[in-house]
Amino acid sequence: MAARIVQSLTSDNLLSGALNLRNFVRHGHRLRGKAPGIARTLEQRLAEERSVDPELTSRVNIGFPHLKPARSAQLKERLTHLKAQRAYLELEKMSRAQTLTVDPELVRVEWLKTRGPLHIKRVAEHYGILEHLFGAAYFVPRVEMEITFNNGDSDSRVYYGNVLKPSEATKEPSVKFDSAFDYRGTGSAGEKENSWWTLVLTNPDGHLAENDKEYCHWFIANIPDGEIAKGDRIIPYMQPIPPKGTGYHRHIFVLYRQDKKLDLSEYKISGKETNLEERTFKTLDFYRKYQDDITPAGLAFFQSDWDKSLIDYYHDVLKMKHPSFEYDFPAPYIRDQEWFPLRKAFNLYMDKYRDPKEINKEYLARKLAKTHPFDGPEPPLRYPNAHPVRDVPSWLRTEIKRERLGCGRINDI
C-alpha cells in the first residue's frame, strides 16, 4: 500500500492516489516526507544525479594536437625492431640467465613519446588542475620539463603531484626543456631559432583574501630557445607559503609556447617582491587575454603543506602575522543518562558525562604515580595475559587488561 502511494501521481491517477492516501491515513498511519505528487520520484532523482554538465561535454582542447604517425609506418617500425631483436642471439641467453638489464631512462623516453602525455593529463584531471586553471578547456602536455630544487646536500625533483616541503623549495629551481618541440607535426624537430616561451608557477589554493584567485610564485616571459636565464623576469620566485591547517597546496608549473615576443610588463611587480597583493593572479584571465599568441605545452606540479620554517618566513620576510586555521568540531551528541545502563562498561559509561580535562588529569596522575623520577616508568610485563586478575568487578578487570596491553584509550591518552 505504502509503495503504491509514494509513487509519482499523474493527472490521470491523482484522484485514486488521493483516495488511497486517505485510506492510508485512516488506518492510523502517517506518511513521512512530502506528499505524493510533490515529492520527486526515483526516476527524477536518478536523472538529476546522472545529469552531465554541458560545459564538460563540450570541452575545448587549447593545446597542441596529438598527431599520430601513420599505421603503416608504425607497423614497419615494429617489424624492423623485431627482426633486429631476433638477430641478436645473446638477448635470449641474457634473459634466461637473468642478466638482462633495462635502462629506465630509455623506458621513460619511450613512454613520453607514446602514452606519457595522456597519462599526465589524466593525473592533472584527477587533481582538478585543468578545471581550476582553465575552466572547461584542457590541453595535453607535449613538452617535458625537468624541474629541480637545489637544496645543497640533496636535490628535490618536481614530477606530477609529489610532495615537497616549503623548506625544500626555498630557492629558485632550475628548469630545462626541449625548445625544439615538433608542434607542427612534420615528423622532425622544430627550429630552435626564434622560439619564445613563458613559464608560470601558480598556486590556486593559497590566496588569503579571494577564493577564486591565485598567487603567482614565479613568472618568466619571452624565454628565448628554452634558456630560462635569458627570459624576462616578470615576477621573481617566492617559496611555497601554505598556512597552517589548510592542508596540501598545489604549486603548478605551466609552460606556454609563444608565437612571437610579447610585452607582459603589466604583470610585473612594481613594489616589494613579497607583496602578496601584487602577486594576485588568475590563469584563466591571463590565457583569455593572450590566447591568440600563446599555447600551453608543458605541465608539472608538486604539493606542499605547512612546516615550522614558515613561522620565521611570515614574520621576517612577509612582515605579517603567521596565519593559522583551525576547524571547530561540533560537540558530540550524548543522550541522557539512564538509570540502569545494560551491557555497557561502567567506567566508560560514567566517563561520557565527565569533563574531558578531568579525565586526562586523572590518567596523567595515575601514570606519574607509577613512574620513577630517575628510572622512568615500570617495565611492561613480558606476558601480560598470563597474570590473572581476581576479586575485582568485570569492568575493572577489562580496564586492567587493556592497561597491561597498552591498547585502547589509555594508550591514546
Pairing mode, if any, of strands 155-158 and 145-150?
A: antiparallel
pLDDT recorded at residue 343: 83
pLDDT recorded at residue 242: 94
Assign 123 a pLDDT band (cuts: 50, 70, 90): very high
pLDDT recorded at residue 300: 95
Structural domains in the chain plus CATH codes: 2-51 (no CATH), 116-317 (3.90.280.10), 346-412 (no CATH)
Contacts of 182 (CB under 8 A, 6+ apart): 188, 189, 190
Contact yes or no for 289/198 (Cβ under 8 A): no
pLDDT tens string 200-237: 999 999 899 888 899 999 999 999 988 999 999 999 99
> How buried is residue 183: exposed, middle or buried, by Cβ count under 10 Å (0-12/13-18/19+)?
middle
C-alpha distance from residue 166 to each of 61, 207, 208, 243, 315 (Å): 33, 16, 17, 11, 15
Contact yes or no for 384/401 (Cβ under 8 A): yes
Cα–Cα distance for residue pair 25/210, rounded to 1 Å? 53
Among 372, 379, 376, 380, which residue's Cα sits nearest to residue 402? 380
pLDDT tens string 329-382: 788 888 888 888 888 878 888 888 898 899 889 888 988 898 998 988 888 888
Alpha helices of 275-338 — where are they, by DSSP H? 283-290, 309-312
pTM reported for the whole predicted model: 0.68
Cα–Cα distance for residue pair 220/227, rounded to 1 Å? 11
Cα–Cα distance for residue pair 237/273, rounded to 1 Å? 9
Among 45, 58, 81, 65, which residue's Cα sits nearest to residue 297? 65
Cα–Cα distance for residue pair 147/254, rounded to 1 Å? 12
Query: The C-alpha cell of 364 is what?
Result: 596523567
Cα–Cα distance for residue pair 343/359, rounded to 1 Å? 22
Contact yes or no for 201/252 (Cβ under 8 A): yes
pLDDT tens string 390-413: 999 888 888 888 888 888 766 655
Assign 5 a pLDDT band (cuts: 50, 70, 90): very low
Assign 3 a pLDDT band (cuts: 50, 70, 90): very low
3 by DSSP, 3-state: which?
A: helix
Q: Which of 51-65, 114-128, 265-279, 320-334 has the lowest mean pLDDT?
A: 51-65
